[in-house]
Amino acid sequence: MGLSFVSFTDHDTMEAYDRIGWTRENIIAGVEVKILDRKRVGHTVHINIYTLNKTQFREVLEITGKAQDIESLIQYLKSEKLPFTFNHPFWHEPGERLRAEAVVEIAELFPVLEYNMGRIKKLNRMVLDLARAKNKGVVASTDSHTGEIGRVFTLAEGSTFQEFFASIKEGQGWLVTEDLTYDRIKAEIFKRLDMLIDKQSWVMGGENLNMSTGNAIVDKIIKTLGNKEENTRATEKAFGKLLKLLVRSISHSGLPATLYLRQQNQLASQVKEDLQVV
């Protein structure tokens, strides 16, 4: 038995569907968009949107990029009858501060919240508690940037994706989940860095390739390696082999993984404290 529906939700781009097709059977066109609504939320929010076409995607980017109004975005999604989810609710971009009370408030706007394989158990349990309190559905997502399709998934009734999503909205879904562990994040970070160093493995032929881990140190390394111009100048000419060895050694040491887990545990403690105050 395989997966009935699969969606590839890249960050703010749907170029993958130009390659694999927008209307392939059981492949659900989807995207993960980010929006920074400074007035209503105060930090960046990630949202998965499904079954949209190119025109709708352009409209979404207009709202997220210019209006930056989360309520306007959700009104548009509802008017177009597009399924959408609140991704990793207790998360923020590096350099921002999470406003836990805002997360609780805007959760009302979403039909479904995400249980994320890339988050520690404490944060995922908070999402489950929030979903129960707000009577929301929950979906399990891998949030992997290196593959692992189907490692976690959601079971629900429905012969079409619309019926499937409706079942999840009604709380009639069953989650097959995993939480982030030291071994998993260490392997994920190493694979991301290795992919960035080895340009032959790049599937898309864009000018740059970036992957966000949410950790400022690792993201800086990835940004440097992911920039083809910098990559050519720095890694292929002057000290390419040395840099590759250094990056792989740092990754193998487990230091980036340790720092990332520490960051997530600190975030979980902050959220718990903030919500107790609220």
Class of domain 15-180: alpha beta
Phi, psi of 76 (to 5 degrees): -65, -45
- Residue 134: predicted pLDDT: 97
**pLDDT tens for the chain, residues 1 to 278:** 578 999 999 999 999 999 999 999 889 999 999 999 999 999 999 999 999 999 999 999 999 999 899 999 999 999 999 999 999 999 999 889 999 999 999 999 999 999 999 999 999 999 999 999 999 999 999 988 777 778 999 999 999 999 999 999 999 999 999 999 999 888 888 887 777 666 555 555 444 555 555 556 566 666 665 565 555 555 555 555 666 677 778 777 888 889 889 999 999 999 999 998 55
Kindly report the three-state secondary structure assignment for every residue of the chain: CCCCCECCCCECCCHHHHHHCCCCCCECCEEEEEEECCCCCCCEEEEEEECCCHHHHHHHHHHHHHHCCHHHHHHHHHHCCCCEEEECCCCCCCCCCCCHHHHHHHHHHCCEEEEECCCCHHHHHHHHHHHHHHCCEEEEECCCCCCCCCCCEEECCCCCHHHHHHHHHCCCCEEECCCCCHHHHHHHHHHHHHHHHCHHHCCCCCCECCCCCCCHHHHHHHHHHHEHHHHHHHHHHHCHHHHHHHHHHHHHHCHHHHHHHHHHHHHHHHHHHHHHHC
Instruction: State both tokens at 71.
Output: 């309520």
Q: How far apart are CA 187 and CA 25, in angstroms?
A: 32
pLDDT for residue 2: 77
pLDDT at 206: 47
Residues spanned by CATH 3.20.20.140 within the chain?
15-180
Q: Are 84 and 49 in contact (CB under 8 A)?
A: yes
pTM of the model: 0.85
